[in-house]
Amino acid sequence: MASQFLQEVLHVNRLTIEGGVPLEGSVRVHGAKNAVLPILAATILNRGVNVIHDCPDLKDVRTTMKILTHLGASVKREGSTVIVNTEGELTNHIPDALMREMRSSIFFMGAILSRCKSARISAPGGCELGPRPIDLHIKALGEMGAKIQESHGYINCEAEHLVGTNIHLAFPSVGATENVLLAAVFADGKTTVTNAAKEPEIADLAAFLNQMGADIRGAGTGVVEITGVKELHGAEHTVIPDRIVATTYLAAAAATHGNVTLTNVIPAHNTAVLSCLKDCGCSLTIGEQSVTMRAPRVLAPLDYIKTLPYPGFPTDAQSPMMAMLTVADGTSIVAETIFESRFKHVEELVRMGADIKVDGRVAVIRGVPALSGATVTAMDLRGGAALVVAGLAANGLTEISNLQYIDRGYEDIEHNLRSLGARIRRA
Ligand code: EPZ
C-alpha cells in the first residue's frame, strides 16, 4: 500500500467503513505525537546526534522533520526511529509555508532562541480549533529577557542571553510550558514555572532534555524548576505512548460493543477516560503497559463531561468519546472548556443520525439506537477520528474525506483498525 506520504501527494484521502462489526483483538499504540513534536524541536539544543525511538510516521512529524532540515540539521528515519544530527551551524528562521503546515510548531521559538540567540518565525495564526493565541508564550519569554516584536505576520525574538526568573502562566498552556522549558535550559540561573501544564508529554520532553544534560525538576506537576546549564549533548529516547490514540481505539471498541486489548499504553496517563468508560459499563483489566476492555451490549450515558487541563478529561478525547456517546442508552452532556471551536464534528455526526444539540461550548447528546453510514468530512484531527468511531458503529457504509487531518495524528489508522476486525480501507 502506498505510504501515507505518497497518499497525501496523490490526494488519496478517503476512508470507507462498513460499520456494525464489534472490534475484537489486540493492537499496539504508537508513540505520542504531542510528545515527539517538542522532543524533535529540542534536538537543536545540543550539537550532537539524537536518537528518538517509537517516533510515529505522521504528517505533523514529517513537517517537523522538514523544519529541522530547513534549520540545518540532518534528519533520517530508520523504521520507527528518527536520528537527528544537529552538529552543524543552524539558521534561526522558519519560513511561513512550513509554519503554516503545522500550527503547533510554536515551540520551535524557545528552542531556536536558546540555540541561536534570536529567532524569526511566522505567527501560527488561527486553525481549525479557533484562534491559536500565543500571548502566554510571548509574555513568558519576555519575562526571561527576550525582546519580541511581531510584524508583517512574523515574530522576531532577540535574546543575547536569557535570565532565569519566576514565571506564572495565567493558563496551564501545554505549548507555553514547553516553550519555557526549551528557552530556560541555558538561561542564567533558575527558572520556576508555576501553574505549568501537567500533561505527560511535558514530563516526556523534560526527561529527554535531562538525558541531554539539562537540570529540570518537577515536570508533570504544576511547578517546574529549570536550572540553566552551559551546554547539552546528544541523547537517545523512547517516546511515551499516545494516550489520545489509545482513547480513540477504546471509544471505537466501546461504540461497537467489542472486546479489545491495547498494548504499549501507560494506563496512568488515561485515568479520566478509563473512568468514563467504566461509568459507561465497560469492564476494564489494567495491566502494567496494557488495557483490556470488554464493552457492554448497551452503553450507559455520561451525565456530564467537562474537558480540563491534565489530569482532567482531555480536550483531545472529547470528540471520539462523543461519537461513542451518540449510541449510549440515554443523554450525555459534554462541555468543551479548552478550545473555542471544537464541535465541528457534531454536524457530521448528525448527518449519520446522531441526536446532538450544541449551545456555545456545551453539547447535549441524546443516544440513538443506531447511527447510519453516510458521506462525511473531517474538519480537524480529533473530529476526524470521531467520524471513524461513528462509522465503525454505524449500520451501512460511511465514507470520510479530508483524511489529511486524521493522518496528522494517527499512523496507518486503517491498518490498525483492520487488525481489530474493522471493515475499513483507504479508497
Ligand atoms: C497542545 O496544544 C496539543 N498540541 C493539543 O493537541 C491539545 O489539544 C492542547 O495542547 C491541550 O491539551 C500539541 O501538543 C502539539 P494550549 P497547545 O496552549 O499547546 C489557549 C491534538 O489534537 N492559549 O494548552 O496549542 C489556547 O487558545 C492537538 O493533538 C492562549 O490563550 O494547547 C487554548 O484555548 C490539538 N494563549 C488553550 O489555551 C497562549 O499563549 C489551551 O492551549 C496559549 C494557549
Condensed to tens digits (0 to 9), the pLDDT of residues 236-270 reads 999 999 999 999 999 999 999 999 999 999 999 99
% of the chain at pLDDT higher than 90: 89
pLDDT at res. 97: 86
CA 175–ligand 1 middle distance (angstroms): 6
Taking 70 as the threshold, does the pLDDT of residue 122 lie above it? Answer: yes
Task: Check if 315 has its Cβ closer than 6 Å to any atom of ligand 1.
Answer: yes
Residue with CA closest to ligand 1 atom 17? 175
Q: Which atom of ligand 1 is nearest to the CA of 137?
A: 40
* Averaged pLDDT for residues 405-426: 97
What is the C-alpha end-to-end distance of the chain, expressed in Å? 11
Taking 60 as the threshold, does the pLDDT of residue 63 lie above it? Answer: yes
Tell me the best of 107, 141, 174, 308 to mutate to test the pocket of ligand 1, counting ligand atoms within 8 Å of each CB and taking the most: 174
Full 3-state SS string of 189-229? CEEEEECCCCCHHHHHHHHHHHHHCCEEECECECEEEEECC
- Residue 262: all three cell numbers together: 491495547
The overall average pLDDT reported for the chain is 95
Active site residue 116: no
CA 228–ligand 1 middle distance (angstroms): 26
Tell me the best of 338, 340, 405, 408 to mutate to test the pocket of ligand 1, counting ligand atoms within 8 Å of each CB and taking the most: 338
Whose grid coordinates read 500565543? 134
pLDDT at res. 126: 63
Q: Which atom of ligand 1 is nearest to the CA of 380?
A: 22
pLDDT at res. 1: 45
CA 423–ligand 1 middle distance (angstroms): 33
Domains within the chain, CATH numbers bracketed: 2-30+241-426 (3.65.10.10), 33-238 (3.65.10.10)
Residue environment code for 36-74, b if the CB has 16+ CB neighbours within 10 A, otherwise e? bbbbbbbbbbbbbbbbbebbbbbbbbbbbbbbbeebebe
Q: Which atom of ligand 1 is nearest to the CA of 381?
A: 22
Q: Which atom of ligand 1 is nearest to the CA of 314?
A: 12
Q: Rounded to whole angstroms, how far apart are CA atoms 373 and 367?
A: 16
Supply the DSSP string of 287-334, one letter for each residue. Answer: -SSEEEEE--SSPPP-S-EEB-STTSB-GGGHHHHHHHHTTSSSEEEE
Query: How does residue 2 score in pLDDT terms, banded at 50, 70 and 90?
Result: low
pLDDT digits (tens, 9 = 90+) for 159-182: 998 999 999 999 999 999 999 999
Please report which helix (H) or strand (E) contains residue 61, including its range.
helix 59-71
Residue with CA closest to ligand 1 atom 19? 175
Task: Check if 381 has its Cβ closer than 6 Å to any atom of ligand 1.
Answer: yes
For β-strands 362-366 and 355-359, DSSP reports them as antiparallel
Residue with CA closest to ligand 1 atom 25? 175
Q: Rounded to whole angstroms, how far apart are CA atoms 252 and 257?
A: 9
Q: Rounded to whole angstroms, how far apart are CA atoms 333 and 356?
A: 9
| Cβ atoms < 10 Å from Cβ of 269 | 25
Taking 60 as the threshold, does the pLDDT of residue 11 lie above it? Answer: no
pLDDT digits (tens, 9 = 90+) for 351-401: 999 999 999 999 999 999 999 999 999 999 999 999 999 999 999 999 999
- What is the helix, strand, coil percentage profile of the chain, to 5? 35, 25, 35
